[in-house]
Chain A
Amino acid sequence: MDTLSTADALRVVQLRKSYDANEVVAGISFSVPPGTCFGLLGPNGAGKTTTLRCCLGLTQPNSSEITLCGEPIPARANTARNRVGVVPQFDNIDPDFTVAENLLVYGRYFGIKDAVIRSRIPELLDFAGLGGKDGARIQTLSGGMKRRLTLARALVNDPEVIFLDEPTTGLDPQARHLIWDRLKQLTARGKTLILTTHFMDEAERLCDRLAVIDHGHMVTEGAPRELIATHIEPHVVEVFGDEVATWARSRHTLGERLEVAGDTAFFYCRDTAPLLAALADEPALRYLHRAASLEDVFIKLTGRELRD
């Protein structure tokens, strides 16, 4: 093992990036130990993709200190990217090539010999659930298969660190579960994952640690369970029905916190017994009692208003 193996796979200190007067990333710091999965969560336009691009040396930050795989970024970004795989937000597989040709051509960009790449292809395709699809044309693949091919392509150089920008957006539940399973296998093999996502269940399931960013600032950082415990009451009761807003507001003391959105009232509670008793007397209202989740934390920290 080399001496860097105990250092962080990625370290970002005070990253700032502005476009004209608009500060997109406003001083973000985090570090990712090797072999762990780190999630960047945030609404659309929060600065997630810009942060990833800065980490890869594709965007010049206004100021920062970034170390990726032991290399200073952006100064030695090209060298660092030898040991990095990227699954971009939108698939950019070569449409003119077959599945196997895509992997071969991509491996050459890393300077890997054809024979070495060819020997890796069967294993990569098996891993991605694309075994036997070597000669398939890209147009014949489903959305989920293309996404998995993009994942296989990101692994062609056997990277230490893998960046995934919204890896499961637009996939059906089966395809998402398969990707999740593969990402878990990758961390089990000691790979470091850095992913952005909108899906809180995905972040909760995969990430050892995660950061919520909004308007370019880091709002909070921690392990998923820890964030739920710190930021939010343990129980949520969602009450639906006509006139629910008036009913809920007159009984807001039944929970620690109350939020009304449309025809749903969200009660955040430590003790749900009084609220559930009150609901038993209201046959017109339906409700759902559940444990607090990361999504509740996310909404609390970033608000309910729509982002463009």
Chain B
Amino acid sequence: MTTPQFAIPRPGLRWLPVWRRNFLVWRKLAIPSVLGNLADPLIYMLGLGYGLGGLLPQVNGVSYVSFLAAGTVVSSTMNAATFEALYSAFSRMHVQKTWDAILNTPLSIDHVLSAELVWAASKSLLSGLAILVVIAALGLTHSWLALWVIPVIFLTGLAFGALGLIVCALAPSYDFFMYYFTLFITPMMLVSGVFFPADQLPAIVHGVANWLPLSHAVLLARPLLLGEVPANALGHVAALLAVAGVAFYVASVLTRRRLLK
């Protein structure tokens, strides 16, 4: 069935071969890819955490590096999912025409996009997990509740993967992605409580920031790493799910418009 432009995506499970395709490519470059994903956020976390943290008293009742750990997990999750849904997906769609090749088979855009979404979330899961392991190894978390961060990572990856696929569907070239980073990702990192408590910000900024998906991820991950059950956990989960669902729908409509001309 050819999907009408505004239909709700119903991919079933036939997207799995497309996910496996991306996995097979990744497997060939797995070690440099994991090291690359791990090095950058760890340098920030350890540099800022211990360097800057040495100058600071406790933040929200814990050492700065412990405070920063949760922010690092979710922000590197966001970055991994975003990069995959922007640059890598765009390469497959626009440069290599991998999607065109797939669309000549019984699979449709819904299958391709679902696979890209789950793939972006899978890669971000790997990134987030790697950092979680380092955090545990450094003794920055002590609670089994920290394991609940794993689904939070995946959910965060889905939300940012879906948002990234919207940008991918709109992009005329790679240069376009710079706007998304400069206007959305970077400001969001600064107002969502990754590096410092968001309530340090003017009330209006804090109010807006509360609506951003990264804030919800931070508000889930930070208490869990510190061994506490997050306040309003269901609300944050629902917010991330809503972002993922709505953004994926918008990305589907835009991608159909772009490719099924």
Contacts and interface: CB of A to CB of B under 8 A. Distances in A.
Interface of A: 19, 56-60, 73-79, 81-82, 84, 86, 88, 90, 92-97, 101, 105-106, 108-111, 157
A75 B28 contact: no
7 contacts: A58-B103, A60-B260, A86-B104, A88-B100, A90-B97, A94-B96, A110-B106
Given A59-B260, A105-B20, A78 B107 contact: yes
A78 B102 contact: no
Given A94-B21, A105-B21, A56 B260 contact: no
A56 B2 CA distance: 10
B151 interface: no
B25 interface: yes
B106 A76 contact: no
B101 A106 contact: yes
A274 B104 CA distance: 55
Interface in B19-57: 20-21, 24-25, 28
Contacts of B101: 88, 92-94, 106
A250 to B, nearest CB: 52
Given A59-B260, A88-B100, A101-B24, A109 B18 contact: yes
Contacts of A59: 260-261
B104 A110 contact: no
B183 interface: no
B260 A109 contact: no
A117 B261 CA distance: 32
Contacts of B18: 109
Q: How large is the interface on B (under 10, 10 to 19, 20 to 34, 35 or more residues)?
A: 20 to 34
| Most central of A57, A74, A75, A96 by chain B CB within 10 Å | A96
Contact of A75 (B2, B102, B261): B2
B1 interface: yes
Interface hub of A56, A81, A106, A109 (most chain B Cβ within 10 A)? A109
B17 interface: yes
A77 B97 contact: no
Contacts of A57: 2
B206 interface: no
A108 B104 contact: no
B105 A97 contact: no
A81 B24 contact: no
A92 B100 contact: yes
B173 interface: no
B24 A77 contact: no
Given A76-B1, A88-B97, 16 more contacts: A19-B261, A58-B103, A59-B260, A74-B2, A78-B1, A78-B2, A78-B106, A78-B107, A79-B106, A88-B101, A90-B97, A95-B96, A105-B17, A108-B17, A109-B18, A111-B106
Nearest to A77: B2
Contacts of A105: 17, 20-21, 24
Determine which residue in B18, B24, B105, B260 has the highest number of CB atoms from chain A within 10 A of its CB, and name it.
Answer: B105
Contacts of B260: 58-60
A19 B21 CA distance: 34
Going nearest first, the 10 A-B pairs with the smallest beta carbon separation are A74-B2, A108-B17, A92-B97, A109-B105, A86-B104, A92-B101, A96-B25, A57-B2, A81-B106, A78-B106
B58 interface: no
Interface in B90-122: 96-98, 100-108
Nearest to A105: B21
Contact of B106 (A19, A58, A82): A82
Given A92-B98, A105-B17, A108-B17, A56 B104 contact: yes
Contacts of A157: 105
